[in-house]
Structures are given as C-alpha cells and as structure tokens.
C-alpha cells in the first residue's frame, strides 16, 4: 500500500523539530505515514544527537490511548525526546515557563541532554550518557551516566534519581567523589546536594529538608 506524503510534516525549529500531523485524515492513516517517515526518510535528522520534538495535532481531538500510539512510534527513535503534544482533546498547558520541564526518552552512551532550568527526565540515563542542567535534575528512572546540575554556578541545585548509580556527578563546580565510594551501597531513590562545599548523598525521603517537593516522583 502506498503511503501518502501529506499527513505528516516535519519542520526544523531553533531548538528542535515540530511534527505537524494532519487533523483531517483517518487516524490509522496518520500513524501509518508517521511510522513510514521515521523508518524510511529524514534519516539525516532522526539519527545522531538528541532532538527535542513538539507534536501539533491541529484540531484533532485524541484520546490518551491514541496519544500513546503516537508516542510509541516516535520513541522508536532513541534520539527523539518528546517535549510537548498539543491537541484540543488534551489538557491545556499553563502558559509561560513551567517550574519543572519534563522530557521523556533514553539517553544512550555518547548522547547529551541539556536544559536551562529545572528538569524532570522520565527515562534512563545509560552509562556514557550525559544530562546537564542549570537547575535541579530529577530522573524518574535509572541514572547510570553522568549528571551535572547547577552548571552556571547554582550551588543550591540537586540531582535526584529513582535508581541512583551514576558514573559521575557535578553540582555547580563541585565534582563528586569516585563512584566506587558509593557502589557498595544499595542503590535506590536518592539525591545529591552540596553541604559545606562537599558532595552529599541522602535518601529521597530527606529531600524535604532542602525545601524540595518529593511529590515530583509521584503521580507522573
């Protein structure tokens, strides 16, 4: 069956890609073309470094199940991180800069994800992967790579993960101790912060002592 080429338009923007999805065609036809284009075209932009993606569905109202169908196709490309999805059938996002920016995906070896502000990353950071942020970093998944929070001098920043086994941590200009010093501990939900100029690691239940909201890891 021939796949039409007018249901999915991919446009480059300053900080990523926009996927414009036709709001008039049958939903299954839309999924078919999206899958085809990701597998057979645009290889120059769909491989390599991590790319932020905004999805625009026009006036099409979609269910949560249909939204997940779109996301599952896009997640097949490991370098695509879904930043937003817009549709009348989905809740309207609050305008302006959100307190915590959410990104979904997997950071593989050799890939770098950077964000200005606080970041909630839904996925795993594999060994060799790097996540950097000017604010706090929250990883709802396994942190096995390198994380650098507060990278523009914010010594109050923290790094938290639901599975905490990083190769290296940095907060502001402070670099963590060698990983073998915490590999003997049972990895779990923990966070790192600076105290008296030294890197500290504590259980997530104690994060409220720093005035952070532990609920960021709940109800996602």
pLDDT per residue as tens digits for the range 53-111 = 888 888 888 888 888 888 888 877 767 777 788 876 555 443 334 567 888 889 999 99
What is the C-alpha separation between 53 and 69, in angstroms, rounded? 16
Residue 176: give its domain's CATH number: 2.160.20.70
Do residues 108 and 14 share a domain? no
Do residues 26 and 68 share a domain? yes
How many percent of the chain have pLDDT more than 70? Answer: 76
Do residues 111 and 198 share a domain? yes
Q: Is 180 helix (H, G, I), strand (E, B) or coil?
A: helix
Do residues 193 and 149 share a domain? yes
- Under 8 Å between Cβ of 132 and 148: yes
The structural domain count of the chain equals 2
Do residues 133 and 167 share a domain? yes
For 60, the domain range is 8-86
Do residues 111 and 172 share a domain? yes
Q: How confident is the model at residue 124 (pLDDT cuts 50, 70, 90)?
A: very high
Do residues 140 and 210 share a domain? yes
Do residues 124 and 198 share a domain? yes
pLDDT, averaged across the chain? 79
Tokens of 24: 């008039």
* Top-confidence residue, 174 or 15: 174
Residue 55: give its domain's CATH number: 3.30.160
Domain boundary among 86, 120, 141: 86
């Amino acid at each position: 069956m021939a796949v039409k080429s007018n249901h999915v338009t991919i446009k480059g923007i300053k900080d990523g890609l926009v996927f414009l999805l036709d709001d008039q065609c049958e939903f299954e036809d839309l999924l078919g073309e999206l899958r085809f284009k990701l597998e057979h075209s645009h290889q120059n932009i769909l491989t390599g470094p991590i790319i932020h993606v905004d999805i625009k569905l026009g006036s099409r109202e979609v269910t949560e199940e249909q939204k997940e169908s779109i996301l599952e196709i896009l997640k097949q490309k490991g370098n695509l991180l879904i930043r937003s999805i817009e549709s009348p059938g989905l809740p309207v996002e609050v305008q302006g800069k959100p307190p915590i920016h959410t990104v979904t995906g997997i950071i593989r070896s050799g890939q770098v994800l950077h964000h200005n502000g606080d970041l909630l990353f839904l996925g795993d950071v594999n060994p060799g992967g790097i996540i950097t942020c000017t604010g706090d970093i929250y990883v709802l998944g396994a942190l096995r790579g390198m994380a650098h929070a507060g990278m523009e001098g914010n010594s109050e920043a923290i790094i938290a993960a639901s599975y905490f086994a990083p190769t290296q941590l940095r907060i502001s200009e402070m670099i963590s101790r060698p990983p073998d010093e915490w590999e003997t501990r049972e990895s779990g939900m923990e966070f790192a912060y600076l105290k008296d100029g030294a890197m500290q690691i504590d259980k997530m239940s104690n994060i409220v002592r720093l005035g952070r909201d532990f609920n960021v890891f709940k109800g996602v």
